[in-house]
Amino acid sequence: MLDFKNKNVVVTGGGSGIGRAASLAFGKRGAFVHILEWNEEQAANVVKEIEAGGGQAKAHQCDVSDQLRVSAVFKAIGTVDILINNAGVSNIGRADTTSEQDFDRVFSINVKGTYNCLHAAIPLMKAKKSGVILNMCSVAATSGIADRFAYSMSKGAVYSMTLSVAKDYLADGIRCNSVSPARVHTPFVDDFLQKNYPGKEKEVYDALAKTQPIGRMGTPEEVAHLVVYLCSDQASFITGCDYAIDGGFLKLNT
């Protein structure tokens, strides 16, 4: 039922993790997937995976914090039916331990990067009076998580932008929603554990997994399933909403 034939889907950060899973899911369902990714090799690999399954895709090397580059990429794409604002970075630290450099980096990618893609995509959607935008938020936007000051700030901004865009473009036939995962097992998690807890990776991983009441981390594919549904015609009555996909993190932790 979830058919995206003749749809142009843009996925930022589509070379790994949730972005990769979303790119593959859309490609499997007939969409032409445009992957905006800083890492050219990762993006090229996902394109190959999509094409191997009979789908269509193209990689675009892009730093989403660079508005000129983002504008050029969207101009080249030409028509955008669905935008997945997924590109993002994390950071460990509190307000008094987060450096200005780290704060600016998180802001420029997670917040400005989302804005840059909205700024470029919305006029293309307005021109054809239709479009769907899905922003990757986080439980950190609405829940206090220790040592995630800059990251939480950025996802709070993404949550607010989702509501603003949903409200502002109702008359243009544009829907905008967000999803808020809790911890999802991506390559980022493995790299983080290897860097910060050498020799204790499994112990710390198990502890992080247990912060979800369901007892485990989510998978990128589980998040991608929700993303695909919210961008489908079956979800045409849904806009201005944030959906937690968190193993009970927000409602069941006591």
What is the secondary structure of 82-109 as a DSSP string?
Answer: EEEE-------B-TTTS-HHHHHHHIII
Phi, psi (deg, nearest 5) at residue 236? -65, -15
Tell me whether residue 209 is in a domain: no
Strands 56-61 and 32-37: parallel
Tell me whether residue 234 is in a domain: yes
Residue pLDDT, tens place only, 216-238: 999 999 999 999 999 999 999 99
Tell me whether residue 87 is in a domain: yes
Q: What is the pLDDT of residue 13?
A: 98
Tell me whether residue 146 is in a domain: yes
**Angle at the Cα of 124 (from 120 to 126), degrees rounded to 5?**
115
User: Helix 113-128 and helix 149-168: axis angle, to 10°?
Assistant: 10
Tell me whether residue 196 is in a domain: no
Residues with Cβ within 8 Å of residue 70, at least 6 apart in sequence: 36, 62, 64, 113, 116, 117, 119, 120
What is the secondary structure of 10-50 as a DSSP string?
Answer: EEETTTSHHHHHHHHHHHHTT-EEEEEES-HHHHHHHHHHH
CATH code at position 147: 3.40.50.720
Tell me whether residue 205 is in a domain: no
> Does 254 score more than 80 pLDDT?
no
The single residue of 151, 159, 169, 205 carrying the catalytic annotation is 151
Residue pLDDT, tens place only, 141-166: 999 999 999 999 999 999 999 999 99
Tell me whether residue 199 is in a domain: no
Answer for the pair 3, 206: CB distance below 8 angstroms, yes or no. Answer: no
Residue pLDDT, tens place only, 100-140: 999 999 999 999 999 999 999 999 999 999 999 999 999 99
Tell me whether residue 104 is in a domain: yes
Q: Is the pTM of this model over 0.85?
A: yes
Domain tally, the chain = 1
Q: What is the pLDDT of residue 195?
A: 87
Phi, psi (deg, nearest 5) at residue 217? -80, 160
Domain that holds residue 226: 8-184+219-249
Phi, psi (deg, nearest 5) at residue 57? -160, 160
Q: What is the pLDDT of residue 55?
A: 98
| Residue 159 appears among annotated catalytic residues | no
Strands 56-61 and 82-85: unpaired
> Is residue 250 helix, strand or coil?
helix
